[in-house]
Amino acid sequence: MATRKVKRLYRSDVRQARRLLRGHTRKTPVFHTDILGPRGPVPVTLKLEYLQHGGTFKVRGCLNALLQTRGDKTGVVLASAGNAGIAAALASALRGMSCTVVVPESASHTKVAAMWSHGAEVLWHGTTYAEAHKYARQLAAERGAMPLHAYDLPEIVTGAGVVGLEIEEQVRGRPPVLVAVGGGGLVAGVAVALGLRGRVIGVEPEGAPTLHAALAAGHPVDVDVSSVASDALGANRIGDIAMEVAQRYGVRSLLVSDDAIVMAREYLWREFRIVVEPAGATAVAAIQSGAYVPAPGERPVIVLCGANTDLATL
């Protein structure tokens, strides 16, 4: 069970988020193709979510949260290792609000630059996301600002879930959907959107197994984070909302190595000229490494969730 009681989210909540976000976010396309697995070509559908505003799915959740803001809050404060900060900065700018992002000292310079480009104030604090998050909560209280959470907030999860509704419209049948997992906002949102008829599979780096460890323990637990994808999948604990959703809808977790993630990222560039960050290639790594083997006739959907990366690393 989750460590705190959380509001149960349903498909109707995701549908409400889609209504609010209409005209503010992109309906990202899908691409039907084959990718190379251990036993040859594997038919897949790539959901090109890296084409979203800000290069990340997280814009959906941040905008959903800010569009529902009531009261006199004029500023936003959150902690982020990267993409949530970029999304919050972009969403805040669109809503005419100030944005402060607290980042750990290990934050990607490329992602910090993107936050700045959207007008955010960036503060460095601590060496981990958890330390940055604790300081961000304190800062929000001191400033009377709206605190945002990178992944464990109902509006963040339901906004991300619109990805699932789009996949349902764009792809025939009900194929499995492979989603990278950090704190769990995206995998939870997609699972809620697709409901009991969906099959959602989380894919995690071996060095950041937040969902995998939580499912094994039966509740969220802290994990050590050390992965090439930790600038986006750097949460050290799965969100309580994601945990509840995963248990309710039977979300599985698969682990992939950093080497497999790097190979998948290089493969996407070499074969399709698709540029994603390591987190964006993590779900692809499950197919290429053989961690997930589709059933005969099955064409899984793979969400390419983010593209905020240093091009020099390709």
Name the β-bridge partners of 122. Answer: 101
**Spatial CB neighbours of 217, under 8 Å, sequence gap ≥ 6:** none
Q: How far apart are CA 94 and CA 159, in angstroms?
A: 16
Other Cβ atoms within 10 Å of 184 Cβ, number:
31
What is the per-residue pLDDT for 6?
A: 87
Residue with tokens 């902690």: 79
**pLDDT range class, residue 3, cuts 50, 70, 90:** low
| Cβ pair 219, 246 in contact under 8 A | no
Give 266's Cβ-side CA count (13 Å radius): 8
Residue type at 34 in one-letter notation: D
Domain boundaries, the chain: 11-57+153-313, 58-147
List, as one string, the DSSP characters of 163-221: HHHHHHHHSSS---EEEE-SSSHHHHHHHHHHGGG--EEEEEETT--HHHHHHHHTS--
Provide the token pair at 158. 């339901």
Fold held by 11-57+153-313: Rossmann fold (3.40.50)
**pLDDT range class, residue 1, cuts 50, 70, 90:** very low
For CA atoms 45, 305, 287, 216, the dihedral sign is: negative
CATH 3.50.50.60 describes domain 58-147: no
CA-closest candidate to residue 265, choices 308, 299, 301: 308
pLDDT tens, residue by residue, 77-115: 999 988 999 999 999 999 999 999 999 998 888 899 999
CA-closest candidate to residue 58, choices 129, 190, 156, 166: 156
pLDDT tens, residue by residue, 209-223: 999 999 999 999 999
Rg (CA), the chain: 18
pLDDT tens, residue by residue, 134-171: 999 999 999 999 999 999 999 999 999 999 999 999 99
Q: How far apart are CA 168 and CA 187, in angstroms?
A: 15
